[in-house]
């Protein structure tokens, strides 16, 4: 789940290649924290004991990191439609 979410977040931000090293680390962090929170939520629903304080702390940290990344998709600049469609688009 973490890998799929990491790839989806990176794609929303314009692709992993367009991100700075720090943003790539934030993407990884958000994806991992999301997987942990999802797992804890599932365990709680099954009646297993979970630390609600730890989940709340992790959720808040995830929200702050996500806000640093931005919550909107980033549009890719397509300057040459034919090159883009053939897979060889050059970005300015």
pLDDT of amino acid 71: 74
pLDDT of amino acid 72: 72
DSSP label of 18: G
Paired tokens of 86: 């053939």
Domain regions of the chain by residue span: 2-86
pTM of the model: 0.74
- Blockwise average pLDDT, block size 10, the chain, 92 residues: 94 91 96 96 96 94 92 66 68 50
pLDDT of amino acid 4: 96
């Amino acid at each position: 789940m973490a890998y799929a979410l990491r790839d989806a977040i990176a794609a929303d931000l314009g692709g992993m290649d367009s991100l700075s090293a720090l943003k790539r680390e934030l993407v990884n962090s958000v994806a991992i924290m999301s997987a942990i929170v999802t797992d804890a939520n599932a365990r709680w629903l099954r009646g297993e004991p979970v630390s609600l304080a730890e989940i709340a702390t992790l959720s808040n940290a995830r929200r702050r990191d996500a806000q640093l990344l931005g919550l909107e998709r980033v549009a890719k600049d397509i300057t040459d439609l034919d090159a883009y469609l053939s897979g060889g688009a050059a970005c300015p």
